[in-house]
Structure 1
Amino acid sequence: MESELAEKKETVPTAATLTVDNIGGIDNAEVTFQEGVTVLSGRNATNRTSLLQAVMAALGSDQVSLKADADEGSAELEFGDERYRRKLTRQNGAIITDGEPYLEDPDIADLFAFLLESNEARRAVARGDDLRELIMRPVDTAAIQTEIEQCEQRKRSIDEQLEELDGLEQRLPDLEAKRKRVTDEIDDLQEELEEAQAELDEANVDVEERREEQSELETKLGELRDTRSELERTRNRIETERESIDALEDEREDVQQKLESLSAGDDADIGRLEAEIETLQEEKAELSKEISQLQSTIQFNEQLLEEPDSVLADASEPADDAGDDGAITDQLLDDSETVTCWTCGSSVARDQIETTIEQLRDAREDRIQERTEINSDLEERRETVSTINESRSEYQQTQRRLDSIDDEIASRNDRIDELTDDREALTDDIDELETEIDDLETDDYSGILDQHKEVNQLEFKLERKERERDEIDDEISSIEDRLGNREDLEARREDVTDELTDLRTRIEQIEENAVSAFNEHMENLLDTLEYGNLDRVWIARTTREAREGRRKVTKSSFDLKIVRSTDSGTAYEDSIEHLSESEREVTGLVFALAGYLVHDVYETVPFMLLDSLEAIDSDRIASVIEYFESYVPYLIVALLEEDAQAVETNHERVTEI
C-alpha cells in the first residue's frame, strides 16, 4: 500500500490551479495548490468552505451550492496539462451541472475524500449507523455474483469434459481388445479367401478353352458379385441409420426430461415485474432529486452560519445603496447568537437554524436510506426477470433441440424406408441373376457358381471387417487425441478454481481490509492523540447466514467497539454515544481514511478535503493532518486561525480568498 501511494505521488502533477466564479460565497477567485498539505487559514465567514466546495465542483461532486445572488457559476481546475471545467446553473430551485469534471462518477470521492461537515462517512460514525453498508457501497456485489455464476458454469463444463475423458480412457482397453480380435478375424478371412480364390482359379484353368462360349456366364457372375456387394452396403447403411435412430431416441428422452423440468415463463409475471421496475426507477429518480435539493439547502444554511456576510451581503442590499453596505454583515458579526433569516429577513437564533439543519440532514439520510432500499428492491426484481428470461431461453433452446431431433428421426426413418426398398430390389435382382446363371451353367462349369458365391461372401466379410477395424482405429485415435488435451483442461480448471475462490472471497477480503485498515490507523492515532481514559476504538466484523431472494448468503456487519478504563485502571466497554465530540470526529475521519485506502481512492482522485475540525483541539488537529499527509497526494484543510498556528509552518497556506 505504501509503495503504491509513493508511486502515485510521483506521477501526479506537483501543482493545481483552481479558478472559481459564484460558488458558495465566492464572487471570483484563483488559488494555486502545491502538492502536499495546503491550509486554508482564517476566521469564520472567509469563504474557506466555499473554496473547498469549488474544488469538489471541479473534481465532479454535485454537493456544491451557487452564490445566493447568482444563477450561474463555474469552477475550473488546471492540473498538469489538463483543464477540468464545471458549470453550475440554477433552474427551478435546483442546481444543474454541466461540463467535463475530473471525475465521471464522484460517489466514492464524496464518501471518502471530500470530508466536509456533512460528509456521510463522518456523520455515520457519529450517529452509530451501519458502517459496513458505507464501506461496501462502491462494490458492485451483484456484478461479482454474476461473475461467480459464470465461473461456476465454466468449471462445471470443464468437469464434465474431464469426466467424459475418464470414461473414454476406460474404453481404450476394450477397444484395443476389439481391434485385436477383428484383426485376427481379418487374417483368418484373408487365408480363407486365398484358398477359395486358388480353387476358383484352378477351375477356371480347366475350362479356359471354352471361356469364349461361356462369356455370358462370366458376365452374369460379375453382375452377381457386384449386386451382392451393393446389397451388403445397403444392409450396412440400414444398420447405421438404425443405430443413429437409437442414439437419437436416447437423446430425445434426455431432452424431453430436461424440457419437463424447465419453465416457459409467464409473460404476465415479466410484465408485472417490468412495471414494478419502472415504478421503482421513477421513485429512485424522484428521491435523488429530493436528496440533491436537500443537500443544496443544507449547504446553503451551513454557509449562512459560517460565512453570513458573503452569503447575504450581495443578496440583501440594493446595488445602488452604497451607504448601507455591510449593514446586515455588521449585525451578524455583532450578535453571534442570531442570524438574519435568508427567507423572511427576521432575526433567528443560531441554534434554531442549527436545529433546522439537523432536521434537514435527518430528512436527507431518510431519503438516502429509502433510495438504498429501493436499489435493493430493484436488484431483486431485475435478478428475478433475468432468471425468468434465462429459464425461458433455455426452455426455448431445449424445445428447438427436441423438434430438431424429431425431424432428424423422421428423416432417418424415411431414409430407412428408401434403403429397405433398395434392399428388396437388390434381393430380387440377385434371385433373377442366380436363376439366369443356373440356366447358363454347363457340366464343365459345375460348382463354379458355388465357388464364386463363396469367394464373393468372403470378400464381403473381409471388406466389412476391414471397415470395422478402420472405424475402431479412428475411434482409438480420436480418444487418444482428446486425452492429449487433459493437461490443458486440468490447467484451465485450476485457473477457474482459483478465479472462483478469488471471486467468492473478494467481498470478504474488502471487508477484512477495511476493518484492518480502520483498526490499525485508529490504534496509531489514539497512541498519538492521547485521549485520557480512551483505551481502544476498533471495528469487530461479524457474519450470519441469511436468505437473499432464492439464495442463501453470508451477511456481515461492522460493530464499533470502544473500551475505556477507570482511574483505578479497570477496563470497561463503552458506546459511541459517550464519546466526546472530539473523539467522534477523529473516529469518523479515520473511518473515511480507511475507505479512501481500501478502495484505492487515491488512484481515482489524488485530493482529500478536510473541514469543520473545530471540535478537535489545535494540537490534535496538527497530529491528524500530519498522519493523513502520508496517505494523500493533495490534502487541503480549512482551519480557524488559532488552529492553523499549531500546524507545521512549512505547509502551504492560503489566508485570503
Structure 2
Amino acid sequence: MPSSEPVASSIDVVAERIGGIDRTEVTLDPGVNVLTGRNATNRTSFLQSIMAAIGSDRPSLKGDAETGRVELSLDDEEYTRTLERHDGTVTFDGRPYLADPELADLFAFLLESNEARRAVRRGDELRELIMRPIDTDEIEAEIAAVGADKRDLDDRLDRLEELEGERPALEERRRAIEADIDAKRDRLAALREDLEAFDLTLDASQDRREDVEETISDLQDARAELESAEYELETERESKAELEAERDEIESELAAFDDVDSPERLEGRVQELRGRKRSLDTTLNELQSVIRFNEEHLEDGGLDLELEPEGEPNRGDESTESTGAGSADVTDRLLAETTDVVCWTCGSTVERDRIESTLERLRSLHQRTLGERNDLQDRIDDLAGRQRELRERTEERRELEDRLSSIEDELERRRLRIADLERDVTDLRTRVEDLEGETDALETTDYGEVIETHRELTQLEMELERLEDERTDVAEQLADIDAKLDDKDDLESRRDELTDELADLRTRVDRLEKNAVRAFNDHMDSILSILEYGNVERIWIERRETPVREGRRAVTKTAFDLHIVRTTDDGTTYEDRIDHLSESEREVTGLIFALAGFLVHDVHETVPFVLLDSLEAIDAARIADLVAYFEEYVDYLVVALLREDADALPESYTYVTEI
C-alpha cells in the first residue's frame, strides 16, 4: 500500500569521499527526485551516500581516501555516518537512520547490484529472498511458548469442567451428612436424658457408682485410642502399597533405559563439524566479497583509464550507466567500441567474456560451498538433536534413580512405623478386652442398662465427631470449587486469545508468502498492461509446496516458481523461461519483485526512500511510466537517469543535474 501520510519536508544530504564523490551537498524534495547527467557524474555514488546514511554497509569509500562521511537531515533530525579504512577494510560508525538496514538493502535500495533484481535476472529461487527478513526460528519458539500456555489453560479448564461435574454429588453428600448429624444429635440427647433418669444411689453406695463410671470412662478412652491406632495403621499400609507400586513402575522405566551412547561421546563429533562449518562460512563470506567486488568492477568497466595525457580520468563511478552521452567524450566512445576491460587484479586488458566466465565459476563454487555448508548444518542439527535427547534421557534416568532411592528410604520408615502401630493395636485390643471384661462383671440387674447406655452414647459421640469432620471437609471442597469456578470465564477468555495468537503465528509465514505472491502478480499484471510489452501475455509467481527431508524429519517447504506466458502472432500462448526475456523485461520483473517485498514487509513504514538506478535497458517512455508507478508507494523516490531518458519525465519532478 502507498505511504499513509505524504511528507512535506525536504531532505539535505552532505556527502564526502563516498564512491567517486569528493564533496557534495544536495537537497531532495518529497516525491520524485531525478539525478540526471552523463556517465561518470557521481549519480550512483550519491545514491550510495543515501544508503550509507540510512544504515547500509554496502557503499564504498573513495579509492584515494582513508575516511568518508555522510550527513542526512530529515524532519529536524540529523543522521551521520562515517567510513574509515583500516588495513584494507572499510568500517562504518555514527548514527544512521536505521539500526538494521536489511529490509532497505533488499527492497528499497534498487541499484543494479540489488539482490532482488539479481535474483530475478539469474532465475534464482525467489522464496528465500522474500522471506529472509522473517526470523522463522523466533516464530517457532513463540509457537512453542504460546502452545504450552494454551495446553496449560486447556488442562485447567478441563479440570474445572470435572470439578463442576463433581459439585452436585458433593452438595448431595453434604445434605446427607447434615441429616445424619441431626439424627445422631437427637439420639445423643435422648441417651443423656436416659442416663440422668437412672438413680443409682437407691441400690448402691457412692463408691460402687464411682467404680462403674470410672470403668466405663476407661473403656471409652481405650476404644477411642484403638480406633485411632487402627485408622493410622490402615493409612500407613495404604501409603506403603502406593509406594511399592510406584517403586515397581520406576524400576520398569529404568529397565527400559538401554542407551549406550552418552552426550559427551557425541560432543567431539559436533565440535569437529562446527569447526568445518565455520571454515566454510569464512570461505562463503570471502567468496561473496570477491564476487561482489568483481561484479561491481566489471560493471564499472574495469580500472580507470587515462586515455589522453591532457584529459581528465574517467572515474568509472556509474557502475551500470550506458555509454553514448556524447561523441566528444573519448572515454565513452572507446568503451562503446570495445568489449575489453582493464583487469583490476593485474592491470592488463582482457576480454569481458573471460572475466564473466571466471565470475560464473566463482558463483558456481559459491553455490557448491553453500550446499556443503547446508549439509554440514543438517548433520550438526541431527547430532545436536541426538545430544539433547541423550541429555534429557540421562537427566530423566537420574531423576528416576533419585526418586527410587527416596522411595526405598520412605518404605523402610513406613515398615518400622507399621510394626510399631501393629504392636500398639495389639496392646490396645488387649486393654479393651480387659475393660470389657470388667464392665461385663459390673452388669448386674441394677447396672446392666446403664452400662449399655454408656456404650451407645460413646459410640455415637465418636461417629458424630467423624461426621462433623467429614462435613467440614466437604464444605472446604465446595468452597475451593466455587473459588476456582470464579476464574473460569477469565480462563476461557484468555484461552480464546491464545488460540487466536497461535493461529496467527502458525499462519504468519504462510500469509506472508501468499501476500508476496499476490502482490507480485497483481503489480506485474498492472505494469505489463501499462508498459505494453508486445508478446508477453503474463508474468506470474506460483507458490508451490513440496515435501523435503531435514535430517531425520520429513517437512513441507514452499518454493516460488516464476512463469512467463507469451503469445505468438496467431494468438497461441506458450510458457517461456526467464532467460528468454529481453533485458528490459527482466529488469522490470526484478523491480516489481522488489516492490512486492517493499509492500509485503511494510518497508515504507520504516524507510522513506526508494532508490532506482541502472534503468538504461528500459526505453525512456517505459522508464517514465515505471517511475510514475513507483511514485505512488514511496515518500521519496530518487532515480538516476541519463539525460535522454530523463527528458521523457514530467517537469513537475525535482531534477538534480550537478553532484
TM-score, scaled relative to structure 2? 0.84
Is the 8 Å Cα contact of residues 543 and 555 (structure 1) preserved in structure 2? Answer: yes
Alignment of 1:214-613 (within 5 A): 215=210, 218=213, 221-244=216-239, 266-270=263-267, 272-277=269-274, 279-304=276-301, 326=312, 332-333=331-332, 335-336=334-335, 337=338, 338-349=340-351, 416=418, 419-420=421-422, 423=425, 426-427=428-429, 430=432, 448-613=450-615
Structure-2 separation of matches of 1:172 and 1:629: 67
Give the drift of 1:181. 4.2
Q: Which moved more, 1:118-127 or 1:488-497?
A: 488-497
Matched letter for residue 12 of structure 2: T
- Structure 1 residue runs without a partner (length 5+): 318-322
Structure-1 separation of matches of 2:417 and 2:477: 25
* Distance of aligned partners of 1:166 and 1:95 in 2 relative to their CA distance in 1, 3 Å threshold: same
Query: Percent identity of the aligned residues?
Result: 46
Give the drift of 1:484. 4.2
Offset from partner CA, 1:97-136 (integer Å, 9 cap, x none): 3333222222222211111111111111112111111111
Give the drift of 1:255. 6.6
* Distance of aligned partners of 1:100 and 1:138 in 2 relative to their CA distance in 1, 3 Å threshold: same
Offset from partner CA, 1:303-328 (integer Å, 9 cap, x none): 355xx76xx67xx99xxxxx856367
Give the drift of 1:437. 7.2
Is the 8 Å Cα contact of residues 277 and 382 (structure 1) preserved in structure 2? Answer: no
SS in 2 for 1:23: coil
Is the 8 Å Cα contact of residues 287 and 362 (structure 2) preserved in structure 1? Answer: no
Offset from partner CA, 1:381-414 (integer Å, 9 cap, x none): 6666556656666666666666666666655555
Match of 2:652 in 1: 650
Structure-2 separation of matches of 1:21 and 1:80: 22
Match of 2:4 in 1: 6
Structure-1 separation of matches of 2:475 and 2:647: 91
Structure-2 separation of matches of 1:638 and 1:362: 32
* Distance of aligned partners of 1:130 and 1:619 in 2 relative to their CA distance in 1, 3 Å threshold: same
Match of 2:136 in 1: 141
Offset from partner CA, 1:266-299 (integer Å, 9 cap, x none): 3323553355345424532442344235424433
Structure-1 separation of matches of 2:143 and 2:226: 58
In angstroms, what is the RMSD of aligned CA positions?
A: 3.7
Structure-1 separation of matches of 2:442 and 2:393: 72
Q: Which moved more, 1:162-171 or 1:636-645?
A: 162-171
Offset from partner CA, 1:201-242 (integer Å, 9 cap, x none): 233664699547755664564454345434433433444444
Q: Which moved more, 1:289-298 or 1:441-450?
A: 441-450
Structure-2 separation of matches of 1:551 and 1:61: 38
Structure-1 separation of matches of 2:394 and 2:377: 25
Match of 2:115 in 1: 120
Match of 1:46 in 2: 41
Give the drift of 1:374. 6.3
Matched letter for residue 335 of structure 1: L
Alignment of 1:29-178 (within 5 A): 29-178=24-173
Structure-2 separation of matches of 1:373 and 1:108: 28
Q: Which moved more, 1:261-270 or 1:487-496?
A: 261-270
Task: State how many pairs are aligned.
Answer: 641
**Alignment of 1:18 onto 2:13:** yes
Question: Comparing both structures, which one devotes a greater share of its residues to helix?
Answer: 1
Q: Which moved more, 1:566-575 or 1:529-538?
A: 566-575
Match of 1:198 in 2: 193
Give the drift of 1:505. 1.4
Alignment of 1:615-654 (within 5 A): 615-654=617-656
SS in 1 for 2:634: coil
Give the drift of 1:430. 5.0
Give the drift of 1:188. 3.9
Q: Which moved more, 1:56-65 or 1:349-358?
A: 349-358
Q: Which moved more, 1:249-258 or 1:153-162?
A: 249-258
Structure-1 separation of matches of 2:641 and 2:230: 98
Is the 8 Å Cα contact of residues 263 and 395 (structure 1) preserved in structure 2? Answer: no
* Distance of aligned partners of 1:400 and 1:386 in 2 relative to their CA distance in 1, 3 Å threshold: same
Structure-2 separation of matches of 1:609 and 1:628: 10
Give the drift of 1:334. 5.1
Q: Which moved more, 1:287-296 or 1:382-391?
A: 382-391
Matched letter for residue 4 of structure 2: A
Structure-2 separation of matches of 1:352 and 1:518: 35
Is the 8 Å Cα contact of residues 562 and 573 (structure 1) preserved in structure 2? Answer: yes
Match of 1:320 in 2: none
* Distance of aligned partners of 1:619 and 1:468 in 2 relative to their CA distance in 1, 3 Å threshold: same
Match of 2:325 in 1: none
Structure-2 separation of matches of 1:440 and 1:181: 38
SS in 2 for 1:572: strand
Matched letter for residue 225 of structure 1: Q
Q: Which moved more, 1:190-199 or 1:512-521?
A: 190-199
SS in 2 for 1:6: coil
* Distance of aligned partners of 1:98 and 1:233 in 2 relative to their CA distance in 1, 3 Å threshold: same
Matched letter for residue 514 of structure 1: A
Give the drift of 1:561. 1.3
Matched letter for residue 600 of structure 2: V
Give the drift of 1:468. 2.2
TM-score, scaled relative to structure 1? 0.85
Structure-2 separation of matches of 1:496 and 1:647: 52
Matched letter for residue 264 of structure 2: D
Q: Which moved more, 1:393-402 or 1:221-230?
A: 393-402
Q: Which moved more, 1:263-272 or 1:571-580?
A: 263-272
- Structure 2 residue runs without a partner (length 5+): 316-328
Structure-1 separation of matches of 2:416 and 2:625: 90
Give the drift of 1:441. 9.3
* Distance of aligned partners of 1:429 and 1:654 in 2 relative to their CA distance in 1, 3 Å threshold: farther
SS in 1 for 2:91: strand
Is the 8 Å Cα contact of residues 539 and 560 (structure 1) preserved in structure 2? Answer: yes
Give the drift of 1:618. 0.6
* Distance of aligned partners of 1:524 and 1:548 in 2 relative to their CA distance in 1, 3 Å threshold: same
Matched letter for residue 332 of structure 1: T
Give the drift of 1:483. 4.0
SS in 1 for 2:633: coil
Structure-2 separation of matches of 1:135 and 1:575: 21
Structure-1 separation of matches of 2:249 and 2:605: 53
* Distance of aligned partners of 1:512 and 1:620 in 2 relative to their CA distance in 1, 3 Å threshold: same
* Distance of aligned partners of 1:104 and 1:437 in 2 relative to their CA distance in 1, 3 Å threshold: same
